[in-house]
Amino acid sequence: IVDAAMNNLIRPSLYQAHHEIVPLLLDERPHKVVDVVGPVCETGDFLAKDRKLPDIQPGEYLAVTGAGAYGQALSSNYNLRPRIAEYLVDGGEVRTIYKGQTIEDIFQEFEI
């Protein structure tokens, strides 16, 4: 279970789009076939199925590549989940291209 969910990248759930998922810690751990799923309580909350990945440990980061315009533009606040930050990797440079939201950002949209 990863922190990102179907509300952050709907394409795999919606029509089985393929995005490479790469651990940022590259090492020689053995790989196994896994499903990469999110924390939303929905059967469609997955980013990938049947992928060969190393044994990822809590706190490790994964890069979901090729999201491009399909990430933030198609994301939602389903289940009151904040939109996540997005980064652009260009050669050896990493830049934040969308800062993401906090739960406070979402609550500011409501008038109660």
**Is residue 63 exposed (0-12), middle (13-18) or buried (19+ Cβ within 10 Å)?**
middle
Predicted confidence band of residue 89 (pLDDT cuts 50, 70, 90): confident
Give the range of the structural domain holding residue 18, as residue numbers without chain letter: 11-107
Give the Cα separation of 97 and 112 in Å (integer): 32
Catalytic residue positions?
41
Report the DSSP beta bridge partners of residue 86: 98
Longest dimension (CA), the chain: 53
Looking at residue 72, what is its pLDDT?
A: 86
Domain membership of residue 73 (yes or no) is: yes
Domain membership of residue 48 (yes or no) is: yes
Q: What's the pTM? A: 0.86
Domain total in the chain: 1
Looking at residue 30, what is its pLDDT?
A: 95
CATH of the domain at 96: 2.40.37.10
Domain membership of residue 84 (yes or no) is: yes
